[in-house]
Amino acid sequence: HVAGVSMLAVSVTRSPKTHGVALEIAVHCSRWMSLRPCATAALKMDTYRRPVPRICSGVQENKSKLEVKGSKVPKAESPKTPRLTRYTRIDAISLIEGLLSLGMVKQAEGVFNEHRRLGIRFGLEVYNKLLFGWTEKGNCLRAKILYHTMHSDGLTPNLQSYAAMLELCERLSDWDAAEDVIKKIKSQGYKVEHILHETNLPKSQATRILRVLNHFNIGSEVPPSPPNRSYPRVVSSLYEGGSSNCVQTESEGGPHVLMQLIDAEAMKERLLKQFEIEKRGYEFVPSVAKVTKPEEGNVSRLQWNDLKEQWKLRLTKLLEEEISLFEKKSEKTNVRWFPKHFPTLAMLPPEVWAEIMIEEVLTTVIGQPDGLGIPYIALLFKSIGWNRYVVMQKCRSGVATKEVSMYHQYVGLLTSEKMQTTSSSQFWRDLSTQNADKGMNLDLMYWTSRNIYKVSGFIVSKLIKNSSLQIVSGGNVIPAFYHVYESRGSQRMAFLKAHPKLVNALKKSSKEVRTVFHMDSTKLPMLVPPKPWTSFYEGGYIMTPAPIARCSNDSFQHKLLQEHNESLVAVMDALNYVGSCPWRINKPILDLVVDLFNKGGDLKLEVPKLELSIPSPPKPAKGKTRTKEELKQHILQKKKSKEMYSLAMDLLYRLSIAQHYCDKIFWMPHNMDFRGRAYTVPPYLNHLTNDLGRSLLQFGVGRPLGKKGLDWLKIHIVNLHGSKKKVSLQERKEYANSLLPEIMDSADKPFEGRKWWQTADEPWQVLSCCKEISNAIRSGDPEAYVSHLPVHQDGSCNGLQHYAALGRDPLGAKQVNLFSHERPKDTYSAVAAMVEEKRKIDAAKDHKEAKILEGVINRKVVKQTVMTVVYGVTWYGGRLQILKQIDGKIQEETAFSCSNYIVGLVFSSLKEMFSNARNIQDWLMTIARKAARAGHSIEWRTPLGLPVVQPYFKPRSHTANSELEDLSTLDDSVPVESRPPDSRKQGSAMPPNFVHSLDATHMMLTALHCQRAGVTFVAVHDSFWTHACSVDAMGKICREQFVALHSEPILSDLAELCEEKYGNLKSSKKGKAELLRGTFRSTIPATGDFELENVLKSPYFFS
């Protein structure tokens, strides 16, 4: 060993290539006393002077020199070769994985060793990936060296590590070595039989491991499920075989009635089509915009599609040349030259990058007069490129084939009665375990912002230099795109813009050019029910990755969800159930909207006109300049035109997708935000949009109206209209009966008749309901009429309902309909009355603002502020809301002081009316700030076990370099838990986020019990939707689950968790440190005497 170290130390001065190996051995040998002198000599001869890894106890790092137990290392000369720029840990891992995906194992290990010398410590997953890399190459020596390096770094191999060694033994047919590995597996307490089920292996590797097991007559066994898996108390009856108290609906059938519409063979065809769409990554969607003949000199001569193909081919060729050049250089052993973006760029075929650039980016750029920021382009590349990469890897590894096979088995569950009582999440997990020999899910590293920013800058720069066009035959060739630098706040950003001549050529013929949209697969509904959620990235689309929670990949929330994955079965099942609801397009409404859109639209009906051009104000006379007021008007006009264009394009996308899926049944996968609120993954066509968007959708499975279905349709149309929402249910039904002639007229002649539907708050949904009621009555047998229309039940100021229940506040409960009343209570009217009463008192005292506001204050003025105060609206925000409502009713010079006066009255009135709610809000705000001042973000668990962490930290930025600009961006390589929390945001956001997590839990509980009862259920947060025939059943479940939710000790559980996590910490405020032990539990607000069972009898709790 001594001789070897000495010789390697001498070789360092001669060959840079052996420097890394020499330094590794020298540091390793410095651990033993007998070898330390020789190791010290080797380190003294290190002319490249690299920092020594911190893992070595005998070597210490200093700012100016390296010391080895008192021996000083002289200052070295400047290196003669370029040094590797230090990457952050997450950047290094991303680079290593990128190189491994390209089969460049030698270069990946070179980057790995360089960073170890820089003191960066890697987790076991990086060693395992390198092990598999060398195993696939069949390099036994390098794999063994890496395996021993893992031990020397203090890491213990896991089953994934041993799987790599077993695969290597199989490749080399070294059965003795394989036997030794099996003994080591057993010595660590693992079971060899479970290795296929507890590791992530593609099909080829799983096949080799299976051969090893067969050689030693070891069978592959499925590991047993946890014997006593614990479920949250609130759903224990559902999952542990007890009574679920489910109600039964009048109509027969649950989710399994889906197969009455689509047989098994048709489902297989749909699955293949969905598979092809996701594999391709996009779908061509024809536009519904009316095509007009292009003017002379525009599209006919430009030939836009041909031009795009030319640019795409040119860009593809350039990227192929660049990647080829990089690969040739990568054959060298020296890895210091590597550009960071190379591995990421090479992960996808050049034609895919070119297609994303031309079809996704340029289409957006041309529609943006001010161009598109390079950071936004980077986000497009990151999201779309990552999805394409994952799908490509799944297809290569055989995972895609396995998942399609599993999905066929899952369809069997959907067609059976067992769907109502089976956990879809657990069912899919069991399928994955049973098919482990066909390969497990891939463990892929998400692309970092810094690397993808370099890739996007590189591709954009190539496009700018190599895209050109000729507007007029024989004219000059001009660049089609260019980039400019503009200031945005304190930053200087680069923007990609289309040449004005190109924009002008496309402006008047935009509808001709946009005959077909290139839609990414994640922006479209699915042709089959979504894959059940089983983990953070496993669920939703069949192959395309979509996160179950809308949080960044490196966030603490992400890590918590991964840690608690096994306990989130109920949360996943709820998302799976709302996502399994089939939908169809309401074709009569779609035809009307498309026709109106192509005729120029109607802003009153939320149908804007599609216009690309932004009218410019007249130029000032010669020698004169625009006045300040003219310039201000031009800016406002320009802003309004951009907003209208954005709204028009959003509607055009929605209508085009709706037309594309017009004759199909489709599904929308759901995920959630960090608080648990559910959202659809497709952004355009869904039920969480505006009135028009909702009117386009109907349930894919219809149900007979039954005895009370028609009555609920009538109540629903009155609720949507908005004129009689605060009268009793019986009065609403009678009012609807009196309006039947208007309803029939609206259904038959929406634009030619009396147009009653256009007077509604939600006109398009009212029109849809008019047609449904008309069809049911004219069917001759309304009870047998099969209705597809969703009927809504909305919470009555739902945030305040949760606060009233938390505080057991009888006065607050009365105002938000937790008690039974003959007519629903209107919180907004009650607050407006209190505010007006206080104003009258102040006016009698000659208060200036109180006298000005006489006759101004009403329900509409205070509604938005009352609605949002429970979600944390500030004094400033409330003043802006009220200022908007009183605009034009009083003189402009007094508007500021008057709005300030009103918001004070609103806040004081709410505090009187909901005193317990305000105390709970203050307590939540206080504990969040205490945790933040102790250096932690507040964390809690919902009653369903979902971990929630507020993502408000003081940002840490880094400089991302590209060929176009250097941009300071948020550093996603810094572990989020190491960033200091923002105490101000943590405190102000805690009350609304906590209540949002409760309303999300209530929605999920209702969904789970509706599944057991066979009741169709979807939701828009606190608005629950179902068929008309099952409104009563859903209403009963909704009330029962609200009572069950608030029967849990929610505030006490939160206080106990805070005591456990932050009790031993000190919170500093104004230089004073306070030990937090006991400060959470002792300050829980007192509760009132409201009894939750009153909710079960309240008809207007949700109505």
Q: What interhelical angle do 449-466 and 89-101 show, nearest 10? A: 60
Q: Which of 249, 261, 286 is nearest to 699 (CA)?
A: 261
Question: Would you tell me how many other CB atoms lie within 10 Å of the CB of residue 684?
Answer: 21
Q: In terms of DSSP H, where are the helices of 188-259? A: 203-215, 236-239
Quick check: 1028 and 789 in contact, CB under 8 A? yes
- Written as six digits, the tokens of 156 are 């213990």
- Reply yes or no on whether 176 is catalytic: no
Round to whole Å and give the CA distance between 1080 and 419: 43
Task: Write phi, then psi, for 1080 (nearest 5 degrees).
Answer: -90, -50
Q: Cα(first)–Cα(last) distance of the chain, in Å? A: 82
Quick check: 1085 and 923 in contact, CB under 8 A? yes
What secondary structure letter does DSSP report for 533? P
Helix then strand then coil, in percent of the chain rounded to 5, is 55, 10, 35
Round to whole Å and give the CA distance between 245 and 234: 12
| Helix, strand, or coil (residue 852) | helix
Only one residue has tokens 């689509």, namely 262
- Reply yes or no on whether 1022 is catalytic: yes
Round to whole Å and give the CA distance between 998 and 34: 64
| Helix, strand, or coil (residue 153) | coil
Q: In terms of DSSP H, where are the helices of 303-422? A: 304-330, 341-347, 350-355, 363-366, 374-397, 399-414
Considering 312, 838, 863, 985, which one is annotated as catalytic?
863
Considering 602, 794, 922, 1053, which one is annotated as catalytic?
794
Residue 383 one-letter amino acid: S
- Reply yes or no on whether 966 is catalytic: no
Round to whole Å and give the CA distance between 453 and 450: 5
Round to whole Å and give the CA distance between 638 and 259: 52
Q: Are strands 1066-1069 and 1023-1026 parallel, antiparallel or unpaired?
A: unpaired
- Written as six digits, the tokens of 575 are 């998302």
Round to whole Å and give the CA distance between 371 and 365: 6
Round to whole Å and give the CA distance between 1057 and 945: 13
Quick check: 525 and 583 in contact, CB under 8 A? yes
The 3-class SS string of 245-307 reads CCCCCCCCCCHHHHHHCCCHHHHHHHHHHHHHHHHHCEEEEECCCCCCCCCCCCHHHHCHHHH
Contact residues for 528 (Cβ-Cβ < 8 A; gap 6+): 267, 270, 271, 274, 407, 411, 542, 667
Q: Torsion angle of alpha carbons 686, 582, 391, 442, nearest 10°? A: 110
Residues annotated catalytic, as ranges: 794, 863, 1022
